[in-house]
Amino acid sequence: MKWGDFFERMSTAKTAEELGGRTRSRSWPIAALDLGASHADLALRQGDSVETVKVAMRRPDGAGAAAAIVAALRNAGTPLGNLAELRLAQTWGLNGIVAREGRPPTLVVTEGFADLLVLARQNRADLYDPVARSSAPVFLAARNRVVTCSARMDAAGREIEPLTAEEAGSIAEAVAACAPAAVAVCLLHAHVAAAHEVALGAALERRGVGPVLLSHRVDPAPREYERAVATCAEAWLAAALDAEMAVFRDALAEAGFRGRLLSLDRTGRVAPAEALRRIDGLAGGAPALVRALAGVAREMICFDLGSRSLDISAARDGAPLLAPGGGPAGLPLRGTRVDVEAHALGGETVLPDLGVSVDAALARLELLPGGGDPALAEDAAKKAIDGFCAQVAERLFAHAVARNIDPERAMLVAAGGLGALLASHIAGELGLDRIHLAPAPDTAGALALLGAPEARVARTRVGAPLDKVTPATLAAHVEDLRAGVADLAGAAEIWTAEIAAFGEMHPERVTLSAAPASAEELRSAWQAQMEADYGVSPRGGHLFALELVAERAPDTLARAPARAPPLP
Measured CA to CA, the distance from residue 380 to residue 193 in angstroms comes to 62
Assign 132 a pLDDT band (cuts: 50, 70, 90): low
Measured CA to CA, the distance from residue 131 to residue 136 in angstroms comes to 15
Torsion of CA 315, 320, 323, 326, to 10 degrees: 100
Residue 309 has pLDDT above 60, yes or no: yes
My answer on whether omega of the bond before 211 falls inside 30° of 0, hence cis, is yes
Assign 334 a pLDDT band (cuts: 50, 70, 90): confident
The DSSP annotation for 499-522 comes to: EESSTTSPPEEEEESS---SHHHH
- Mean pLDDT over the full length of the chain: 86
Q: Residue range 476-492: average pLDDT?
A: 92
What percent of the chain shows pLDDT beyond 70? 90
Residue 177 has pLDDT above 90, yes or no: yes
Residue 14 has pLDDT above 60, yes or no: no
What's the confidence (pLDDT) of residue 564? 52
Residue 16 has pLDDT above 70, yes or no: no
DSSP assigned state of 80: G
Assign 554 a pLDDT band (cuts: 50, 70, 90): low
pLDDT tens readout for residues 507-522: 888 999 999 999 999 9
What's the confidence (pLDDT) of residue 568? 44
pLDDT tens readout for residues 42-85: 899 888 788 888 888 777 788 888 888 888 888 888 888 889 99
Strand pairing class (310-316; 341-343): antiparallel
What's the confidence (pLDDT) of residue 125? 60
Tell me whether residue 460 is exposed, middle or buried, using C-beta atoms within 10 angstroms of its C-beta: 0 to 12, 13 to 18, 19 or more: middle
Measured CA to CA, the distance from residue 480 to residue 459 in angstroms comes to 9
Span of 281-290, 397-406, 539-548 with lowest mean pLDDT: 281-290
328 vs 228, residue with greater confidence: 228
pLDDT tens readout for residues 180-207: 999 999 999 999 899 999 999 999 999 9
What percent of the chain shows pLDDT beyond 90? 52
Contact 2, 297 (CB under 8 A): no
What's the confidence (pLDDT) of residue 547? 94
327 vs 566, residue with greater confidence: 327
Residue 26 has pLDDT above 60, yes or no: no
Assign 316 a pLDDT band (cuts: 50, 70, 90): very high
Contact 412, 427 (CB under 8 A): yes
The DSSP annotation for 348-404 comes to: TPEETTTTEEHHHHHHHTTSSTT---TTS-HHHHHHHHHHHHHHHHHHHHHHHHHTT
Measured CA to CA, the distance from residue 371 to residue 13 in angstroms comes to 44
Contact 333, 325 (CB under 8 A): yes
Spell out the residues 6+ positions from residue 349 whose beta carbon is closer than 8 angstroms to its own.
308, 357, 358, 388
Q: Residue range 310-339: average pLDDT?
A: 87
Spell out the residues 6+ positions from residue 172 whose beta carbon is closer than 8 angstroms to its own.
200, 203, 204, 206, 207, 209
Residue 504 has pLDDT above 70, yes or no: yes
Contact 85, 24 (CB under 8 A): yes
What's the confidence (pLDDT) of residue 354? 80
Span of 28-32, 120-124, 263-267, 475-479 with lowest mean pLDDT: 120-124
Q: CA angle, corner 542, sides to 227 and 336, nearest 5?
A: 45
82 vs 21, residue with greater confidence: 82
Q: Residue range 487-506: average pLDDT?
A: 89
Assign 124 a pLDDT band (cuts: 50, 70, 90): low
DSSP assigned state of 566: P
Tell me whether residue 48 is exposed, middle or buried, using C-beta atoms within 10 angstroms of its C-beta: 0 to 12, 13 to 18, 19 or more: exposed
Residue 555 has pLDDT above 70, yes or no: no
Assign 154 a pLDDT band (cuts: 50, 70, 90): very high
Assign 414 a pLDDT band (cuts: 50, 70, 90): very high
Strand pairing class (411-415; 436-437): parallel
Span of 131-140, 220-229, 538-547 with lowest mean pLDDT: 131-140
For helices 224-254 and 62-75, give the axis angle rounded to 10 degrees: 50
